[in-house]
Chain A
Amino acid sequence: GAVVSQHPSWVICKSGTSVKIECRSLDFQATTMFWYRQFPKQSLMLMATSNEGSKATYEQGVEKDKFLINHASLTLSTLTVTSAHPEDSSFYICSGRARDYEQYFGPGTRLTVT
């Protein structure tokens, strides 16, 4: 199956700083990438959908100025959490959608804001 990587796998940052998470599709071109957030013991929550070369579409309740998404190429999307706060601590997972419409998930990034 297709492989998606995320970097970093975990990060600890101080409140008020920004953190960038990279999502790469290693062996396929992902025309669409998705960013999810998952709090403990809860299901995945879609944050935004990004298509290569265009602006991301954010789900209701997700602040686009706080969670900056860039999808500059068919193999790379980045999520930047700006001015992070402890309530932003979560498990962030990206996925890439290939032509067969299946989503392939990255391993996730655990963000802890202190």
Chain B
Amino acid sequence: GQNIDQPTEMTATEGAIVQINCTYQTSGFNGLFWYQQHAGEAPTFLSYNVLDGLEEKGRFSSFLSRSKGYSYLLLKELQMQDSASYLCAVTDSNYQLIWGAGTKLIIKP
């Protein structure tokens, strides 16, 4: 079956760094997405990885290792508004998105 695992909840301090991990097992792989979702809102796109390595975009970076079925989202200089759920999603061989359950990130002052 297809499976994506990520931690349910994480807590971090304002100004710090946090890494959210995602492991996946899917039928085929055509890219991995990270989305941010604030409560009551639709997901917003953060990053896309299809090749191994690190993609940096401002305070957010995303890493992919296809051989390990592993990705992480790194958030630096955390701000209170970064409190949200972070969803990992993998595009399978049919280009369909398979979603993780999301990681709720709580930022404390």
Contacts and interface: CB of A to CB of B under 8 A. Distances in A.
A101 B42 contact: no
Nearest to A44: B99
Given A42-B101, A43-B101, A106 B96 contact: no
B43 to A, nearest CB: 5
A102 B45 contact: yes
Task: Please classify the interface of chain A as helix (H, G, I), strand (E, B), loop, or mixed, using the class held by over half of its residues.
Answer: strand
A34 to B, nearest CB: 8
* The 6 residue pairs across chains A and B that have the minimum distance between CB atoms: A105-B42, A108-B42, A43-B101, A43-B102, A93-B42, A107-B42
Contacts, number: 40
14 contacts: A1-B45, A34-B97, A42-B101, A43-B102, A44-B87, A44-B99, A45-B99, A46-B97, A93-B42, A93-B43, A101-B91, A105-B43, A106-B42, A108-B41
B100 A43 contact: yes
Contacts of A103: 33, 97
A97 interface: yes
Contacts of A50: none
Task: Please classify the interface of chain B as helix (H, G, I), strand (E, B), loop, or mixed, using the class held by over half of its residues.
Answer: loop
B29 interface: no
A28 interface: no
Nearest to B31: A101
B30 interface: yes
Given A43-B101, A44-B87, A49-B96, A105 B44 contact: yes
A43 B41 contact: no
A91 interface: yes
B99 A43 contact: yes
